[in-house]
Amino acid sequence: MRAATLHIAGRATGRVVAHVVIYAAALLTIAPFVWMVLTSFKDIGEIYSYPPTWWPEEFTLDNYVATFQAAPFGRFYLNSLFVATTVTLGQLVTCSMAAYAFARMEFWGRDALFYLFLATMMVPFHVTMIPSFMILHWLGLIDTYGALIIPGLASAFGTFLLRQFFLSIPKELEEAAFLDGCGRFRVLWQIIVPLARPALATLAIFTFMGVFNDFIWALVVINSEDLYTVQLGLAIFRDRYSTEWGSLMAGSVVATLPILIVFFLAQKHFIQGIALSGLKD
Amino acid sequence: MPEVLTQQEVRPAAHIVRGEAAEEPPRPKRRPRLLRGQGPLALLFLSPTLVIVSVFILFPILFSFYLSFTQWNLFGGEPAFVGLDNYARMVDDAEFWQVFAHTGIYTAGTVPLNMALALAAAFFLNTKVIGKRFLRAAFFTPVVISAVAAAVVWRWVFDPNLGLANYALETLGLSAVNWSNSPTAAMVALIIVGVWKSFGVNMILFAAGLAGIPKHYYEAAEIDGANGWQRFWHITVPLLSPTTLFVLVLSIIGSFQVFDIVFVLTSGGPLGATKVLVFYLYEHAFKFFNMGYASAVAYVLFAVLLVLTLVQIRAFRDRGFKSAA
């Protein structure tokens, strides 16, 4: 009896310790965010006081006002949203079409082409970066929205992700539609796309996040301040105002907010995307 | 019951339909192979993706290989063929080896720490923990936010005078560290941020691997009297090893390509102590416009990562493991 009670008590203690450890780790992980958000609402005097304080003594929006006055963050924001939305919509259309061809149509060289697509996913972006820059340079598209948008309008990853999902949809559903005289485009649009919503959502979220958070490509192809994305704007701003922590924190909050909102609304899709692809960054 | 009967009645009809639909009318033999059968329509469906992937991926892969044997500054004239000069120059460049070493140190620092934290988090999340959704979201948040914003925040955390890192060290009775002037400290800071930014990815992959281990193995072992450590060592470790290998290779590949956080956190400094391979590539391509040399660096990076990927694919095949990717 006593041994059993001790065992149970030991387990209970173990569970409590485990909870304390994992919650401490979780709080430590999100501490930089909390710090970022809270700092962005502090006044200058408090920001530069030492030892640092957590909770703002007085909430102020001064840092946000200063940030938006020092640099056109509103404009950067619209640029980022425009580019990320256009690329995401483009990929949903192009990758759906390509994935449907790979999943459902018979044509010469299909499997070889598909494996070629798969193989390109192993090539690091930095290998294709320089020639892609040159091609855009030859096309006269450097320092335009086109440079940010066009290379992202289709992707091997998106095609692969959607193809795998399309293959899991029973063919019978389409065959009935073919009997009714539907063409391939209508079948794709009216039968496959509605059924593939979870996969399309995962692709959309992944693409949007990737483009919105992209830094190196915008750094390489954009020069004019008018075309800066939020990330590029924040990095340049960081160079120029390297110790104005209040403004920098406000800028960082602005640069992370949309993705954080999408993440909390659609956590499942982020995690599915990761589990599916093992994709980094 | 009646529903089941109707289904059975419908089925043969569906089979016949499928048979008919699969049969294509015979085509004249002279047409190119690609244009036979559903070829033209498939080509139409594929064309937008084919154009983009060809122009911005397939052609660049080949073209940068060619460029790596040339000298070219992009703006003046044609690329001049120089054979293996770029590669020879790389071997002779002390900075290249330093940069390679920094990348190696960063990788050696981040990968084990990243995997240990990811496995621990995944292990906890696989038990009956209260508030699983919150915990998973907390560990995963650093993955989804932009590297630039994250690095800006961490720059402040590591500010030598006002930052949280030194405040924490002093509170613990340790001495403050000059994060921005000491090469070692800057690399340590970079590794901490690198681990923090990406262990959530590996946590998800480990959690998927752990969820795939049948529960009754553990139950059987418990009945046989195995303790927690024995169960972990004899069941979890061997059954998780394909996932572990997958995570290991992916983490190394990711670490070798680090750029954004370096650019914003340390700008490669102090004294070039955190200058990594992609940073070096970026400088040569877009600061000095040595397109040929930068392409050669890119191909060296590609070669290293390709070897790792092939090792990974091979290991999977040997184990008969089919990954999701």
ipTM: 0.89
A146 alpha carbon, distance to own chain's centre = 20
d(CA A279, CA B144): 12
In which residue are the tokens 């960081």 written?
A: A238
Tokens of residue B163, six digits: 């930052």
Give the whole-angstrom CA distance, residue A71 versus residue A255.
13
**Mean pLDDT confidence for B261-272:** 90
Helices and strands: H and E segment counts in chain A:
16, 0
Show Cβ contacts of residue B324 under 8 Å, excluding neighbours closer than 6 positions.
A275, A276, A277, A278, B208
| Residue in the block written with tokens 């798969």 | A118
pLDDT, mean over chain A = 88
Question: Which of A172, A184, A276 minimises the CB distance to B14?
Answer: A172
**B148 contacts in A (CB within 8 Å)?**
213, 215, 231, 234-235, 238, 255
Comparing A127 with A242, the larger pLDDT belongs to A127
Of residues B117 and B16, which shows the higher confidence score?
B117
**What percent of chain A is predicted at pLDDT more than 90?**
52
The size of chain B, in residues, is: 325
Distance from C-alpha of B112 to C-alpha of A170, rounded to nearest angstrom: 43
Residue B319 has pLDDT above 60, yes or no: no
Residue A98: closest CA among B57, B54, B44: B44
A264 in reach of chain B (CB within 8 A): yes
Looking at residues B150-160, what average pLDDT do you find?
Answer: 92
Task: Please tell me which residue, A8 or B262, carries the higher pLDDT value.
Answer: B262
- Is A139 part of the contact surface with chain B (CB cutoff 8 Å)? no
User: Where are the alpha helices (H) located in A121-196, listed in sequence order?
Assistant: 125-138, 145-149, 156-167, 172-179, 184-187, 193-195
pLDDT over 90 (residue A229): yes
Residues of A within 8 A of B61 (CB-CB) are 120, 123, 127-128
List pLDDT tens digits, range A195-211: 999 899 989 998 999 99
Q: Which two tokens stand for residue A54?
A: 């957590």
Residue A226 DSSP code: G
Q: What is the pLDDT averaged over residues B27-33?
A: 60
Nearest to B130 among A19, A25, A171 (CB): A19
Q: Give me the pLDDT at residue A234, please.
A: 93
The mean pLDDT value for A110-134 works out to 92
Which one, of A188, A173, A24, lies nearest residue A98 by Cα? A188
Helix (H, G, I), strand (E, B) or coil at A109: coil
Chain B CB contacts of A252 below 8 Å:
149, 152-153
Round to whole Å and give the CA distance between B70 and B79. Answer: 6
A205 touches A279 (CB < 8 A): no
Token reading at B324: 């999701």
For residue B13, pLDDT beyond 70: no
Distance between first and last Cα of chain B = 42
What percentage of chain A carries pLDDT values higher than 70? 93
Alpha-carbon separation of residue B108 from A107, B95, B243 (angstroms): 46, 20, 19
Q: Calculate the average pLDDT of chain B.
A: 85
Asked whether the predicted pLDDT for residue B115 surpasses 60, the reply is yes
Q: Chain B within 8 Å of A270 (Cβ-Cβ)?
A: yes
Distances (CA, A) of B308 to B85, B119, B315: 26, 21, 11
Question: What CA–CA distance (Å, rounded) separates A174 from B272?
Answer: 60
Q: Is residue A261 scored above 80 in pLDDT?
A: yes
Contact B281 A238 (CB under 8 A): no
Which residues from chain B sit within 8 angstroms of residue A235, using beta carbons? Answer: 148, 263-264
Euclidean distance between CA atoms B282 and B257, whole angstroms: 12
Residue A267 has pLDDT above 90, yes or no: no
Q: B145–A260: do the CB atoms touch at under 8 Å?
A: yes
**Residues B167, A123: C-beta atoms closer than 8 Å:** no
**Are the beta carbons of B55 and A128 closer than 8 angstroms?**
no
Q: Which residues pair with B80 in a beta bridge?
A: B71
pLDDT band at B12 (very low <50, low <70, confident <90, very high): very low
- Does residue A75 have a pLDDT over 90? yes
pLDDT at B27 over 90: no
**Chain length of chain A:** 281
Q: CB contact, 8 Å: A28 with chain B?
A: no
88-117 in chain A: CB under 8 A from chain B: 93-95, 97-98, 100-102, 105-110, 113, 116-117
pLDDT for res B312: 76
Between chains, do B145 and A213 touch, taking CB under 8 Å as contact? yes
Shortest CA gap B263–chain A (Å) = 9
CA distance B105 to B91: 19
Residues of A in contact with B144 (CB under 8 A): 209, 259-260, 263, 270
Q: Give helix B291-319 / helix B59-67 axis angle, nearest 10°.
A: 120
What is the distance in angstroms between the Cα of A75 and the nearest Cα belonging to chain B? Answer: 18
pLDDT in tens, A45-63: 888 887 888 888 888 898 9
pLDDT given for residue A190 in this prediction: 87
Place of tokens 């469906």: B45
